Amino acid sequence: KAGVTQTPRYLIKTRGQQVTLSCSPISGHRSVSWYQQTPGQGLQFLFEYFSETQRNKGNFPGRFSGRQFSNSRSEMNVSTLELGDSALYLCASSWDRGRTGELFFGEGSRLTVL
Amino acid sequence: GENVEQHPSTLSVQEGDSAVIKCTYSDSASNYFPWYKQELGKGPQLIIDIRSNVGEKKDQRIAVTLNKTAKHFSLHITETQPEDSAVYFCAASIWDNDMRFGAGTRLTVKP
């Protein structure tokens, strides 16, 4: 069974640009969550999508957005990039967290903003 | 929203010793408390979890305890091995609400 796949794995952008990250969840999983990981800050929750609807949202500015498609694949977009957006962005999927709770993480997309 | 604090941020132990990581949470309604292990270059992976109706859970060398009154929970690793070296994250969530993570503990097990 394939795991959570995130693309691209590494990318470098400059300030002011925008970026789109992609996440393919485990087959059958309907929930996709996104987290930002930075040294010392741990995993900061961005948002969660379930059946194409944003179910929860963390405390990030409106420059961070996401969406989920009918096949459960998800994308997140960051516009007008800032140096502080440099981080590892992790995607996690689950069938239905209300039942099992477990999140299955991808290996992340490492974004560097210059 | 939920706030999770985790201590210590770094922990170094000798192989064979025990390691303890502690977390506190703010929302008394939280009912699910997982622990994740993140190895270098990989995403976090669930190693053990506990629900609010249970006080302790054990799986071989790892165990988790929960004190709902004090709103804190702990991870205990006994007989540590070099392969236990990793970053460990605690988390808390309410039913199907978003999961909030602690800042992580970097555990180093010295051979």
CB of A29 less than 8 A from some CB of B: no
Contact list, A96 vs chain B (CB under 8 Å): 96
Over residues A7-31, the pLDDT tens digits come to 999 999 999 999 999 999 999 999 9
Element (H, E) at A31: strand A31-38
Determine the pLDDT at residue B97: 67
By the 10 Å C-beta count (0-12 exposed, 13-18 middle, 19+ buried), B52 is classed as: middle
The reported pLDDT for the residue numbered B75 is: 98
Note whether B101 contacts A35, CB cutoff 8 Å.
yes
How many contacts does A have with B, using Cβ atoms within 8 A?
60
Return the pLDDT at A91. Answer: 97
pLDDT on residue B94? 80
CA A1/CA A19 separation, integer angstroms: 29
What is d(CA B97, CA B4) in angstroms, rounded to the nearest whole number?
15
Per-residue pLDDT tens over the stretch B13-70? 999 999 999 999 999 989 899 999 999 999 999 999 998 888 999 999 999 999 999 9
Task: Kindly state whether B78 is in contact with chain A, defined as any CB-CB distance less than 8 angstroms.
Answer: no
pLDDT at B93: 87
Amino acid at A42: G
